[in-house]
A and B are shown apart, each in its own frame.
Chain A
């Protein structure tokens, strides 16, 4: 189409206040086209995507054919051996992970904004190791973690997953605690022998925060502070406006797969043009790079990070095009702010790429963040058993300021949900297939270094994977 031209047989149906958008409907196939007056209308046909066999348009470009492997061996000095699958299948190995990893690590339980008022609390239940942790903001405004267990006869204090209270009360015999966990009152106290109330507060659980995330540690004396665990990540994201992104959408699902496989699903860009062929893949690919590569991949003491770029000229189906146009100015400003040397988080866009899209940051073992200029989302992986994982996904952005932004938000949220369902569906299929015993190993490219990191860090803590 010539610049500004409407498609043949198309009827212009409107121009909105976003000056760049014109909408056309094509009379012949009812396909709706959006375009900028000065540029060709964007026509997106699903058939383009669906009917080409996946390999035909994904022949490696000359520059990619040779490969550019460097992150695994050269940069990080790791070996490139395949990984044994048995580490994801064995209940005995999972018991080791429970003791050596989940009982000893900093685990995310939510965002500080959920507990903004004194007396606000949440309860996080874990299956491995079995625990129920109550996080509460005290009247002194301090966040504290406790085992959700009464000091009298071990009844669970709160049945609710969240709420607000002025005191904590055990419904069994009425023992009463204040918001700092101190035992305040025991009914009929005179019937007890030598009850030392000052020693019978709720049992504390270590708690620390980072960029608004609340972490707890089930180890009564954690081996290290959160800042030591996070190492360079602790300050490396400073400057990103986490606190402004207060508008949350959250889902939870029980996934039938080992926790590491679920985590592996969000660790590389290699799968994008294939697993997300229908939804999001084209935003990350171009003629020059039909199979995308990360801009950089780094492994940290307790996690890792990859920086990813995308195709800034990608075309999208009409509703996505509209949703992205609505927030285009906001996105542009946010990109500029994050590129400003005074604000740029030190670990963002290390290569200074023009087509920078965002950062994926892994905090081992159970938090993974995807950070974009105008929003971030995070996965929380909570193991239930060797073959099941509770997965929570939350997306945070600034509260919408107009209906247009609400529409855009609703659509981008629906898009995220569809995209992650594609991932998680594959994860359950992998786990079922892995359980057939057909394969002893899986193989990782240099682009899948953070998948490798999951398994390497696990084996460093819980010992080598079993051999069968």
Chain B
């Protein structure tokens, strides 16, 4: 019951609660995450990156306590946030702008969920 409540809420694991203000970046499903990350305003990406990238090693170490595919709900939330960071790092580190410059193709390039390994 407590787990259910946790799954429904925006609670991150103890030690990471200060990152809850970025909970909107906790996006399940790789395809959806790619789309939503790419569609975010650049200032949001950059604020998220600046706050969370310095913690990424700590986050990875915490999540690696659990077997893959068996994360408790709060850890799953943190994992999905960290995976968004992996996406957002591309525009922030490489392009300094939200999109691949001049690219008009992204929105026309859907992720094929049915054959991809990560739903």
Query: What residue in chain A is nearest B84 (Cβ atoms)?
Result: A410
> Which chain B residues in 66-92 approach chain A with CB under 8 Å?
66, 68, 71, 79, 82-83, 85-87, 89-91
Beta-carbon contact of B103 and A422 below 8 Å:
yes
Residues of B contacting A16 with CB < 8 Å?
Answer: 57-58, 60-61
Residues of A contacting B83 with CB < 8 Å?
Answer: 406-407, 410
CB-contact partner of B66 in A318, A403, A410, A418, under 8 A: A403
Beta-carbon contact of B64 and A23 below 8 Å:
no
CB-contact partner of A410 in B68, B86, B110, under 8 A: B86
CB-contact partner of B117 in A30, A249, A319, under 8 A: A249
B86 to chain A, nearest CB (A): 4
Known: A406-B68, A414-B86. A249 touches B109 (CB 8 A): no
Beta-carbon contact of B109 and A32 below 8 Å:
no
Q: How far is the CA of A273 from the CA of B100 in the complex (A)?
A: 16
Main secondary structure of the interface of A (DSSP, over half): mixed
Report if A258 contacts B (CB, 8 A). no
Residues of A contacting B56 with CB < 8 Å?
Answer: 23, 319, 322, 407
Q: How far is the CA of A404 from the CA of B58 in the complex (A)?
A: 11
Residues of B contacting A411 with CB < 8 Å?
Answer: 86-87, 89-90
How many inter-chain contacts with C-beta < 8 Å in the A-B complex? Answer: 149
Beta-carbon contact of B109 and A319 below 8 Å:
no
Q: How far is the CA of A14 from the CA of B58 in the complex (A)?
A: 7
Report if A25 contacts B (CB, 8 A). yes
A321 to chain B, nearest CB (A): 10
Beta-carbon contact of A250 and B111 below 8 Å:
yes
Residues of B contacting A15 with CB < 8 Å?
Answer: 57
Query: What residue in chain B is nearest A279 (Cβ atoms)?
Result: B94
CB-contact partner of A23 in B54, B71, B85, B101, under 8 A: B54
CB-contact partner of A407 in B60, B108, B112, under 8 A: B60
CB-contact partner of B50 in A17, A30, A319, A400, under 8 A: A30
B55 to chain A, nearest CB (A): 8
Q: How far is the CA of A3 from the CA of B113 in the complex (A)?
A: 45
Known: A46-B93, A403-B64. A114 touches B34 (CB 8 A): no
Residues of B contacting A319 with CB < 8 Å?
Answer: 53, 56, 85-86, 89-90, 93
Q: What are 29 of the A-B contact pairs (CB < 8 Å)?
A: A13-B57, A14-B57, A14-B58, A17-B64, A46-B93, A46-B94, A50-B96, A248-B117, A250-B116, A251-B111, A253-B109, A279-B100, A320-B89, A320-B93, A394-B115, A401-B68, A402-B64, A404-B60, A404-B64, A406-B79, A407-B86, A413-B30, A414-B86, A414-B87, A418-B94, A418-B100, A421-B100, A425-B100, A428-B105
Point out residues on A near B: beta carbons under 8 Å.
13-17, 21, 23, 25, 30, 32, 44, 46, 50, 110, 114, 161-162, 246-255, 278-279, 317-320, 322-323, 326, 392, 394, 399-404, 406-408, 410-411, 413-415, 417-418, 421-422, 424-425, 428
Closest 6 CB pairs of A and B: A319-B89, A16-B57, A317-B93, A403-B63, A411-B86, A253-B109
